[in-house]
Amino acid sequence: MRLETLILAAGKGTRMRSKLPKVLHKVGGKAMLQHVIDAAKQAGSEREVVVIGSGAQLVEQTIAGVEFVLQEEQLGTGHAVLSAKENFAESEGTVLILCGDTPLLTSKLLKNFRAAHENSNCAATVLTAKMPDATGYGRIIREEDGTFKKIVEEKDANELERKIREVNAGAYCFDVRKLFGALEKVKNDNAQGEYYLPDVLTILKDAGEKVGAFTAEYADETLGINSRVQLAAADRIFRMKKNHELMDSGVTIIDPNTTFIDYDVQIGQDTIIYPNTYIEGNTVIGEDCAIGPNIRFTDMKVGNKVTAQFSYCHEAEICDGVTLGPYVHIRPGTTIGENVKIGNFVEIKNSNVGEGSKLPHLQYIGDTDMGSGVNVGCGSVTCNYDGKQKFRTTIGDNAFIGCNTNLVAPVTVEEGAYIAAGSTITKDVPKDNLAVARARQTNISVWNDKRK
Residues that bind ligand UD1 (CB under 6 A): 8-11, 23, 51, 71, 74-77, 79-80, 99-102, 137-138, 151, 153, 167-170, 196-198, 224, 226
Residue 429 site contact among Ca ion, ligand UD1, none (CB < 5 to 8 Å, cut-off depends on kind): none
| 79 belongs to the catalytic site | no
Residue with nearest beta carbon to ligand UD1: 138
Q: Find the shortest distance in angstroms from Cβ 151 to ligand UD1.
A: 6
* Residues 6+ away with beta carbon under 8 Å from 385: 366, 391
The span from the CA of 53 to the CA of 171, in Å, is 20
Q: Find the shortest distance in angstroms from Cβ 21 to ligand UD1.
A: 8
If the CB atoms of residues 101 and 355 are measured against Ca ion, the closer one turns out to be 101
The span from the CA of 329 to the CA of 214, in Å, is 51
The span from the CA of 417 to the CA of 219, in Å, is 66
**CA 194 remoteness from chain centre:** 34
Q: Find the shortest distance in angstroms from Cβ 106 to ligand UD1.
A: 16
Beta bridge partners of 348: 330, 365
Residue 137 site contact among ligand UD1, Ca ion, none (CB < 5 to 8 Å, cut-off depends on kind): ligand UD1
Residue 409 site contact among Ca ion, ligand UD1, none (CB < 5 to 8 Å, cut-off depends on kind): none
Cβ contact 278:260 at 8 Å? yes
Residue 321 site contact among ligand UD1, Ca ion, none (CB < 5 to 8 Å, cut-off depends on kind): none
If the CB atoms of residues 81 and 336 are measured against ligand UD1, the closer one turns out to be 81
If the CB atoms of residues 195 and 278 are measured against ligand UD1, the closer one turns out to be 195
Instruction: Sort 369 into a burial class: Cβ within 10 Å, 0-12 / 13-18 / 19+.
Output: middle
Residue 76 site contact among ligand UD1, Ca ion, none (CB < 5 to 8 Å, cut-off depends on kind): ligand UD1
Cβ contact 111:94 at 8 Å? no
Catalytic entry in 35, 117, 329, 361: 361
Q: Find the shortest distance in angstroms from Cβ 197 to ligand UD1.
A: 5
If you compute the radius of gyration of the chain from its CA atoms, what whole number of angstroms results?
A: 31
If the CB atoms of residues 76 and 356 are measured against ligand UD1, the closer one turns out to be 76
**CA 318 remoteness from chain centre:** 21
* HEC letters along 263-322: CCCEECCCCEECCCEEEECCCEECCCCEECCCEEEECCEECCCCEECCEEEECCEECCCC
Beta bridge partners of 147: none
Residue 198 site contact among Ca ion, ligand UD1, none (CB < 5 to 8 Å, cut-off depends on kind): ligand UD1
The span from the CA of 278 to the CA of 195, in Å, is 42
Q: Find the shortest distance in angstroms from Cβ 15 to ligand UD1.
A: 8
> Phi first, then psi: what are they for 144, rounded to 5°?
-60, -35
If the CB atoms of residues 226 and 277 are measured against Ca ion, the closer one turns out to be 226
The span from the CA of 329 to the CA of 327, in Å, is 7
Q: Find the shortest distance in angstroms from Cβ 298 to Ca ion.
A: 30
Residue 402 site contact among ligand UD1, Ca ion, none (CB < 5 to 8 Å, cut-off depends on kind): none
* Residues 6+ away with beta carbon under 8 Å from 114: 3, 43, 44, 94, 96, 173
If the CB atoms of residues 107 and 188 are measured against ligand UD1, the closer one turns out to be 188
State the sign of the Cα–Cα–Cα–Cα dihedral 63, 64, 65, 71. positive
Residues in touch with Ca ion (CB under 5 A): 101, 224, 226
Q: Find the shortest distance in angstroms from Cβ 224 to Ca ion.
A: 4
Residues with catalytic roles: 361
